[in-house]
Amino acid sequence: MDTEILTLDDFDYQGKTVILRLDINSPIDRQTGQLADDNRIRKSLPTIRELAACGGRVVMLAHQGDTEDYHNLIDLSPHAARIAELLGHSVSFVDDIAGPAATGRMSNLRNGELLMLNNVRYLVEEVSTFINYVKLTPEEMAKTRLVRNLAPHADLYVCEAFSAAHRSTPSLVGFAEVLPAAGGRLFVEELSALTQVRERPEHPCVYVLGGARIADAFSMMKSVLGNGSADKVLTSGLTGEVMLLACGQQLGVPSEKLIHDKGLDPYIDKAQDLLNVYADKILYPSDFAIIDEDQRKEIGRDKLPVDTLLVDIGAKTIADYIEVINSARTIFVNGPAGIYEQPMSAEGTRRLWNAIADAPGYSVIGGGDSVAAARRFGVQERMGYVCTSGGGMVRFLSGQKLSVVEALERASVRYRARRTE
Ligand code: 3PG
């Protein structure tokens, strides 16, 4: 691995109290209030199991939901119960985060015991830094109530939350300032997979970018085309449609209105700028699907504009993209090609995802919708690597430094320096 962070292999856990920061932020069923998906929990299990098996006293911290995602801002007791069920190992839950109930329980843990504290986003210092209302330096994070109260009861900090590694908050960054700190198994795995795509992709390297998160797609395109790591970008979804608008192609009122209503008009100029420089590297759709009288119909670009919403890419675009995918040695995927949740507009995503899963190149897929689509089409297991992260992954591939990776790197430098003293 290129990064200098320490891993689980660098420490001994017998009798040590380990603060383990997970990212088990999960969709919650609005009706039942129960976890609707436990993918992130399952992916975190190897590290939890390993720390407990090595005699660690494990104190788990995590966030769930936020003030904007309010119906998801719930206690972590269902998460603790699910971990216990999946591991076949008891997990205590304390309805406290940084107060005396939490610290009292922490200092009484036995070797191999697992403790889950409550949602760190109930703490104002965690939320104000997460939403960037307050910006704290790492040294200031180390002085927050959470870190001040818990760190004296712990020996080590392990971060398993790669999918939140772009957030600079006390629970993610603060402990690494005052405790020896390592990345967990999943953290290191995701960082390595994405580092390979970003720093050493085997060429040809193809980015398949769709979905509605145009800001993400554009920041990645700019970076990976600029540094030469991408040889081709296959656009679809709203990103593909904006590319066509930048070429002067009218789409029709419903699709143009959707782009306008989402505030995406400024991306038309940005698309033009990219096409001026990388015209041979950016592919955009040559045909689309619409739903007409309850039927899927396909239309070529020459039939645009249409007064119906474009909901998917068409057969010719799918075939052209599959040809590029089959000749790639690295494929990165983020964002579905159409409204994949509905059968009549799922064809583009289903066929591209299957082609990527079967392609000889190494594929990496990430982002909530993309992974959910891979699961829906039964190809998740056949993808090269499936990331749990969305925002963190996009920022990493856009060339940004992630706050938590930087914090773990600093902790590693301090730890190694102390050992050679
Ligand atoms: C996620 O769900 O992408 C991570 O848990 C980060 O969550 P956040 O965007 O609410 O910080």
Q: How many residues does the chain have?
A: 421
Rounded to whole angstroms, the Cα distance separating 328 from 276 reads: 24
- Residue 164 CA: nearest ligand 1 atom is 6
Query: Looking at ligand 1, which residue's alpha carbon is closest to its atom 11?
Result: 164
- The residue whose C-alpha atom lies closest to atom 4 belonging to ligand 1 is 164
Residue listed under structure tokens 């700190």: 181
Residue 183's pLDDT is what? 98
Please tell me the distance between residue 137's alpha carbon and the centre of ligand 1 in angstroms.
21
Which H or E run contains 226? helix 214-226
Q: What percent of the chain has pLDDT over 90?
A: 90
**Would the CA dihedral through 83, 86, 91, 95 be positive or negative?**
positive
Long-range CB contact pairs, 295-299, < 8 A, 24+? 295/344, 296/344, 296/345, 296/347
Q: What is the mean pLDDT of residues 256-265?
A: 96
How far apart are the CA of 276 and the centre of ligand 1, in A? 34
Q: How confident is the model at residue 70 (pLDDT cuts 50, 70, 90)?
A: confident
Q: Find the 162 Cα to ligand 1 centroid distance in Å.
A: 10
Q: What is the average pLDDT score of the chain? A: 95
> Separation of 405 CA from ligand 1 center, angstroms?
16
- Among protein residues, the one whose CA lies closest to atom 6 of ligand 1: 164
Tens-place pLDDT, residues 128-178: 999 888 999 999 999 999 999 999 999 999 999 999 999 999 999 999 999
Select from 3.40.50.1260, 3.30.420.40, 1.10.3720.10, 2.40.50.360 the CATH code of 203-360: 3.40.50.1260
Q: Where are the beta strands (DSSP E) in 48-177?
A: 57-61, 91-93, 114-116, 156-159
CA dist list (Å): 28 to 23, 60, 78, 93, 404: 15, 20, 10, 19, 26
Q: pLDDT tens across 294-304, in order?
A: 999 999 999 99
* Ligand 1 centroid – CA 82 distance (Å): 20
Query: Of the residues 132, 163, 166, 395, which should be mutated to test ligand 1's pocket, given the most ligand atoms within 8 Å of the CB?
Result: 163
Ligand 1 centre distance from Cα of residue 396 (Å): 14
CA angle 128, 131, 132 (to 5 degrees): 80
Nearest residue (by CA) to ligand 1, atom 8, is: 164
pLDDT of residue 131: 86
Domain 8-186+401-419 shares a fold with domain 203-360: yes
Over range 412-420, report the average pLDDT: 92
Q: How far is CA 395 from the centre of its chain?
A: 9
In the reported structure, the alpha carbon of residue 161 is separated from the centroid of ligand 1 by a whole-number distance in angstroms of: 10
Instruction: Say how many Å lie between the CA of residue 66 and the centre of ligand 1.
Output: 9
Confidence grade of residue 69 (pLDDT, cut at 50, 70, 90): confident
Please give all residues whose beta carbon lies within 6 A of any atom in ligand 1, as ranges: 23, 25, 66, 130, 163-164, 167, 390-391
Residue 166 C-alpha to ligand 1 middle, in angstroms? Answer: 9
Q: What is the mean pLDDT of residues 194-217?
A: 94
Q: What ligand 1 atom has the least distance to the C-alpha of 163? A: 4
Q: Is 12 helix (H, G, I), strand (E, B) or coil?
A: coil
The residue extents of the domains of the chain are 8-186+401-419, 203-360
Q: Which fold has domain 8-186+401-419?
A: Rossmann fold (3.40.50)
31 — pLDDT class (breaks 50, 70, 90): confident
Q: How confident is the model at residue 2 (pLDDT cuts 50, 70, 90)?
A: low
CB 166 within 8 A of CB 400: yes
CA distances from 262 to 70, 142, 255, 275 (A): 22, 39, 11, 22
Task: Ligand 1, residue 69: give the atom nearest the CA.
Answer: 10
Residue 173 is classified by DSSP as I
Instruction: Give the number of the atom of ligand 1 that is nearest the alpha carbon of residue 25.
Output: 5
- Sorting pLDDT into bands at 50, 70 and 90, what band is 73? very high
Residue whose CB lies within 8 A of the most ligand 1 atoms, among 21, 23, 24, 25, for a mutation test: 25
Q: What distance in angstroms lies between residue 25's CA and the mean position of ligand 1's atoms?
A: 7
CB atoms near residue 348 (< 10 Å): 28
Among 63, 67, 74, 216, the mutation site with the greatest number of ligand 1 atoms within 8 A of its Cβ is: 63
Contact 290, 311 (CB under 8 A): yes
Mean pLDDT of 372-384: 95
Tell me the per-residue pLDDT of 88-131, one tens digit each, with 9 for 90 and over: 999 999 999 999 999 999 999 999 999 999 999 999 999 999 98
Lowest mean pLDDT among 10-14, 325-329, 372-376: 372-376
Q: Which pair of structure tokens corresponds to residue 208?
A: 């398949």
Ligand 1 centre and the CA of 333: distance in Å? Answer: 19
Of 61, 67, 76, 167, which is best to mutate to test ligand 1, by the most ligand atoms within 8 angstroms of its C-beta? 167
